[in-house]
Structure 1
Amino acid sequence: METRDDYKGVNYDDIIPFRAIHPGEILWEELKARRISRKAFAGQLGIERSVLTSLLKGRRDFTPDLAQRLEQALHIDATLWTNLQAAYENDLRRIAERERQEAAPAAPIAMQYAV
């Protein structure tokens, strides 16, 4: 069984997630937990339902203005939403870099077998 001591000395900044989690996924879970419909919530935020759907599906970024609206509507600090957006963007960057590094050694090997 793992204990906290097993993770002493681990630098969590070095851990790259398998996939980045968009803040829209977290918002969607929050809305489901509170049983708030997308239509009602879009109206509460003063945005089109299609815009909310794009946010929930990760097709739009969470802006500081949206974060303020979410804070007013859900009473969840705006800083959380802006931090989630920043973490998402950072994770995307780190995942892309890891994928580039993993793919880099394959190119010279493939060239050896080129016809």
Structure 2
Amino acid sequence: MMLDQNISEIFLAEPIHPGEMLQDELEARSLSQRELAAQLGVSPAFVNALIHGRKSVSVSLAMKLEKALEINASFWLNAQRNNNRTLAYQKAKQELEHLHVPAARHAELLQAVA
């Protein structure tokens, strides 16, 4: 069970979508969603969907965010990747809880999805 605990520590208890980070950045800069949308060349609805976790950060969007906000594209891509991995881990863990396998095998399966 120790293996399971160590893997759990890798992933956040609650995933943080990059849109949440973007919202914090907009507030810190007193920048509206509409203003950012204009800078990115996307609709305000798209920015709103991103902030609320309904859209993901693509390579193209990360590059646009880097240009508009001067925050490295890799930051946005890593944030999206970490969010995706945490969500996938939580889903896999939930699915494994319904299987009847020995505790040691359960830990191995969790390691495999990490």
Q: Compute the TM-score of the two structures, normalised by the length of structure 1.
A: 0.75
- Residue 109 (structure 1) aligns with: none
The CA deviation at 1:78 is 0.3
**Out of 36, 44, 66, which is 1:41 matched to?**
36
| CA shift digits 1:57-86 (9 cap, x unpaired) | 100110000000000111100011011111
The CA deviation at 1:101 is 2.6
| CA shift digits 1:28-76 (9 cap, x unpaired) | 1110111101111111111000011011110011000000000011110
Q: Compute the TM-score of the two structures, normalised by the length of structure 2.
A: 0.76
| In 2: Cα distance, 1:22 partner to 1:86 partner | 9
Change (3 A) 1:44 1:87: same
Residue correspondence of structure 1 range 62-73 to structure 2 within 5 A: 62-73=57-68
Q: Does 1:19 align with 2:18?
A: no
Answer 1 or 2: which has greater helix percent.
2
Q: Partner of 1:43: helix, strand, or coil?
A: helix
Q: Does 1:79 align with 2:71?
A: no
Question: What is the total number of aligned residue pairs between the two structures?
Answer: 95
8 Å contact 1:19–1:95 — kept in the other structure?
no
| In 1: Cα distance, 2:31 partner to 2:43 partner | 15
Identity of aligned residues (%): 33
Q: Does 1:53 align with 2:38?
A: no
| Higher RCO (CA 8 Å, separation ≥ 6 residues) | 2
In structure 1, the gaps of 5 or more residues are: 1-10, 106-115
Change (3 A) 1:74 1:12: farther
| In 1: Cα distance, 2:19 partner to 2:32 partner | 15
- Residue 97 (structure 1) aligns with: 92
Amino acid at match of 1:83: N
RMSD: 1.7
